[in-house]
Structure 1
Amino acid sequence: MPADAQHRHTRTKRLVRTLAVAGTGAAVLALPLIGATAASAATTSTTTPSTTLAGYPNNLDGWIRESLAIMAEKKIPGTYNGIYRNIIRESSGNPRAINLWDSNAAKGIPSKGLLQVIDPTFKAYHVDGTSFDVYDPVANITAACNYAAARYGSIDNVFGAY
């Protein structure tokens, strides 16, 4: 077989292989998308509710907004931006965050929740109408903001560990 014909045959095989791999790759990419839609729909009823009991979205935005509503009612100062900034610094938005390494943790009272509140502070600044669970996002935010208001005038005035 002439070298030119063999080259074309190899090039054709390479093109067929490339198309087969590309087609398989596209199918592999499409399967998770199709499966994810079905899985997502199937688990919606068994996962965390999409709203809080008060009707706010059950996510960081909703927890902050619900807290702000309670704070307004109780005349506790604070803004969305001040709360959000401190939450991101303290827990990255994880309501189950716990600090097991600082001086409070060494004393057996680790900081917990979105705004990293220790249990004695949470109990002292707990706001009526919220949960007594330090890990409850709305209770944690509201108690921490109540504490920050008493100590610093507002959560908006907190720019570091408090």
Structure 2
Amino acid sequence: MSAPSIRMTKARKVSIAGIATAGAAAITLSLVPAGATPAEAAPVNTKAAASAANVAVSAEAVQAAVLSTGLDAQKSNLDTQVQAAVEKAVQTKADTKSAAETAVKKAAAEAAAKKAAAANAAKKRAAQAQAATRAAAAPAAAPAAAPKAYANNLDGWIREALDIMDKHDIPGTYNGLHRNIIRESSGNPRAINNWDINAQNGIPSKGLLQVIQPTFNAYHVKGTPFDLYHPVANIVAAANYAADRYGSIDNVFGAY
């Protein structure tokens, strides 16, 4: 910003000059005695001219003072404007610096968040890849074995009974079971004895190995039907009773 030029306007100059001239004339008139001749007035006019010159000098001084006052006022106003401009520039610089620092911090935070997200994604992919590798390397699971089938006849009943006895640690063999079944019921799961002492007591022997109900109830094996006439349940309960009393169904060769 260029400093404004301080100039006296023409009107001000004329006004000041007029004031000076008027002052000089007034002084001159006041020094001429009333009724004086031109000759008498001449010396006085000389003095008046000198006074007028002094007044003119005073007028120039006034003009200079006025000019100086105007310059001081404009200088003060300019100083105020410059100070305001400097303060504004300083504040703008501070605001710009603060905004820049905030932007840098925000960018750093965003970069850190992206880096963390990328690291987590990489870990997840790595874990998935490892899981896939382990799954590919693991041997294929063997298909579940189909339930063992047993024939619905005396041979199938004995074999199923032997598998159940093995799970429950009940001793006995195929031959021991088969021999006693043939003697007791001839292989008829619905066989019933209505003439022996048990029948007379109201608890006849029933089934493949001719078991009475109280004995079946006491030696029934979990996992088999609770049915005295069921061929497998009858065999397993009888073998369990024989193991408890004789050590094994293989040791039974007669009524038991």
Q: Normalized against structure 1, the TM-score is what?
A: 0.67
Give the AA of the match of 1:107.
N
Instruction: Indicate whether 1:153 and 2:239 are aligned.
Output: no
**Match of 1:59?**
153
Give the AA of the match of 2:160.
E
Q: 1:102 Cα shift?
A: 0.1
Q: 1:54 Cα shift?
A: 5.5
**Match of 2:220?**
126
Q: Secondary structure at the match of 1:139?
A: helix
Q: 1:81 Cα shift?
A: 0.1
The gaps in structure 1 that reach 5 residues or longer are 1-52
For 1:24-72, what per-residue CA distance to the aligned partner results, in whole angstroms no more than 9, with x for missing partners? xxxxxxxxxxxxxxxxxxxxxxxxxxxxx85200000000000000000
For the aligned residue pairs, the C-alpha RMSD in angstroms reads 1.0
The gaps in structure 2 that reach 5 residues or longer are 1-146
From 106, 110, 118, give the equivalent of 2:200: 106
Alpha-carbon separation, structure 2, partners of 1:106 and 1:95: 21
Alpha-carbon separation, structure 2, partners of 1:150 and 1:131: 21
Alpha-carbon separation, structure 1, partners of 2:148 and 2:181: 21
Instruction: Indicate whether 1:85 and 2:190 are aligned.
Output: no
Q: Which of the two has higher C-alpha Rg?
A: 2
Alpha-carbon separation, structure 2, partners of 1:88 and 1:54: 25
Looking at secondary structure, tell me which structure has more helix per residue.
Answer: 2
Q: Secondary structure at the match of 2:224?
A: coil
Q: Normalized against structure 2, the TM-score is what?
A: 0.42
Alpha-carbon separation, structure 2, partners of 1:157 and 1:137: 21
From 141, 148, 154, give the equivalent of 2:235: 141
Instruction: Indicate whether 1:74 and 2:173 are aligned.
Output: no
Q: Once the two structures are aligned, what percentage of the paired residues are identical?
A: 77
Q: Which has the higher contact order (CA 8 A, sep 6+)?
A: 1
Alpha-carbon separation, structure 1, partners of 2:246 and 2:213: 19
Give the AA of the match of 1:111.
S
Alpha-carbon separation, structure 1, partners of 2:187 and 2:159: 14
Q: Secondary structure at the match of 1:93?
A: coil
| Moved segments of 4+, more than 3 Å | none
